[in-house]
Structure 1
Amino acid sequence: MSVVARNLVWGVRRRTIVQDVSLSVAEGEVLGLIGPNGSGKSSLLRLLAGLRRPALGRVEIGGRDIARVPRRMLAQQVAFVQQNAATDTNVCVRDVVRLGRTPHRSALSGWSAADEAAVSAALARVDMSGHQAQPWQTLSGGERQRVHIARALAQTPRVLFLDEPTNHLDIHHQIEILRLMRDLDLTSIVALHDLNLAAMFCDRIVVLQAGAVVACGTPEEVLTPALLRAVFRVETEVTPSGRPGQPHIRFTAT
């Protein structure tokens, strides 16, 4: 399912945070959002997912303006994985993933075989079936993030939004989460801090600065020393990584 943004504008009080952003994501594509802190990545993600309404512009998912799509129907099509989601409730892994079925159930409907199958499939997809009875509070950071992705997959979405899903994870779990995202066969839009991870796992990258798009293209096209100097204020050497279209970035002292 494709995602198209047309001239999005959004802000708080008199501060504009997202400035005239237009972009398109093809079905099955992984699009990365990168930019300095405060560049508007998280705000843009929430606009694209329908969690916020733009002041101007619109978002189309599957060719339909999401402002005209009922909230429940939209939640059946898209899922959002936020960074550092937590709970103090004493629940097990399977109970967390079951929450993903909420958009598919009415207030009076019982738990169905289809709900059960979706939860089991989501747990298996993130390799957490063996942990389904484990209490949430005993999970590691990487395991919790996999459970959050499983909850999103239990929605059976066609578009997945992820807001810095590797935040505070060690490098092994960062790669594990992003490899999982890439292999899901969904349209995915992910905000990332790590530029090398963006190069490894994203088909295309959008660079944001002060809420505006300053570059969009393949990692090879976008991640250049000149752009990284202008946007991130760092000096870099960008070299081939050995994988086609995936440059490697080395930060250099100035």
Structure 2
Amino acid sequence: MSIVAENLHWGVKRKAIVSDVSLSAAPGETLGLIGPNGSGKSSLLRLLAGLRKPQSGRVEVNGRDIAQVPRRALSRQVAFVQQNAATDTNVSVRDVVRLGRTPHRSALSGWSATDESAVAAALESVDMTARRSQPWQTLSGGERQRVHIARALAQTPQVMFLDEPTNHLDIHHQIEILRMVRDLDLTSVIALHDLNLAAMFCDRIVVLDAGSVRACGTPDVVLTQELLRDVFRVTADISASPDAGRPHIRFRAG
């Protein structure tokens, strides 16, 4: 499914958090959102996912304005993985992932083989099958994040929005999660802090600065020394990596 956002604006009181943002993601594309803290990445993701209503502008998924799509129908197409999801309920890993099937089931429908298959596939995708019966409260922060990604996958969405999905994960699972998301047959928009991970796994990158789009394009075009200096206030050397010529950033100390 394609995603198109046109002239999105959202703010609190008189402060603009997202300002006149337009972007698009093609079917099957992995689009990265990067920017300094406070640049509007999380707010923009919520606007794109329909979790927040823009004060002006519109978002279309597959050519249809999401403001006109019923919430339940939208939830069958779109999944959202937030930064620090939490629950105080004493449930198992499998129970958390089962919640991803809610949009596909009516109040009177029983648990089906399709539901069970979706949950099993989601757990396997994030390497949590062996922990499926483990209590949620006993998981580490990184393990909980992987379970929430599995819950989103259990929705079998066509579009996935992920807000810092690699937070709390060790480097092995950061790479595995992003590789998995990139290889899924769906459209993904991912907010990331790690610029090298964005360069490795995103087809294109949107750079946000103070709520506005500063640059958009392929990683090799967007990630320049000048942009890193002006937007992120860092000095770095950039070279082409062996991975299809994608840029590798080496930050300078001092």
TM-score range, shorter chain: over 0.9
Structure 1 residue 11 corresponds to structure 2 residue 29 = no
- Match of residue 196 from structure 1: 196
1:207-253 CA-partner distances (Å, limit 9, x unpaired): 00010001000110000000110101111111111222311111113
Corresponding residue of 2:168:
168
Gaps of 5+ in 2: none
Aligned to 1:78: 78
Is 1:36 the counterpart of 2:39 in the alignment?
no
Contact 1:219–1:245 at 8 Å: present in 2 too? Answer: no
Per mean C-alpha deviation after superposition, the further-off stretch among 44-53 and 138-147 is 138-147
Q: Are the aligned partners of 2:142 and 2:167 in contact in 1 as well (CA < 8 Å)?
A: no
Q: For structure 1, which segment, 207-216 or 163-172, has the greater mean C-alpha deviation from structure 2 after superposition? A: 163-172
SS at match of 2:133: coil
Tell me, in whole angstroms, the C-alpha distance in 2 between the residues paired with 1:127 and 1:184. 15
User: Which stretches in structure 1 are left out of the alignment for 5+ residues?
Assistant: none
| TM-score (normalised: structure 2) | 0.96
| Maintained 8 Å contact 1:218/1:245 | no
1:223 counterpart residue number: 223
Q: How many residues align?
A: 254
- Name the TM-score, length of structure 1 as normaliser: 0.96
> What letter is aligned with 1:74?
L
Q: Alpha-carbon deviations, 1:124-155, whole Å to 9, x = none?
A: 22232222111112223332222111100111
Match in the other structure for 1:106: 106
| CA spacing shift, 1:64–1:245, aligned 2, 3 Å | farther
Match in the other structure for 2:183: 183
Equivalents in 2 of 1:122, 1:86: separation in Å? Answer: 19
Mean alpha-carbon deviation: is it higher for 117-126 or for 148-157? Answer: 117-126
CA RMSD of aligned residues (A): 1.2
Question: Are the aligned partners of 2:31 and 2:202 in contact in 1 as well (CA < 8 Å)?
Answer: yes
Residue by residue over 1:41-64, the C-alpha shift from the partner in whole angstroms, topping out at 9 and shown as x without a partner, is 000000000000101110000111
Q: Deviations over 1:66-123 (max 9, x none)?
A: 0000000000000001112122221111100000011112223222222222212222
Matched, 1:116 2:106: no
Q: Please say which of residues 143-152 and 23-32 is displaced more in the overlay.
A: 143-152
| Residues 125-144 of structure 1 aligned to structure 2 (within 5 Å) | 125-144=125-144
Paired-residue identity, % = 78
* CA gap 1:168/1:142 in 2 versus in 1, 3 angstroms: closer
Q: Identify the residue that residue 208 of structure 1 maps to in structure 2.
A: 208
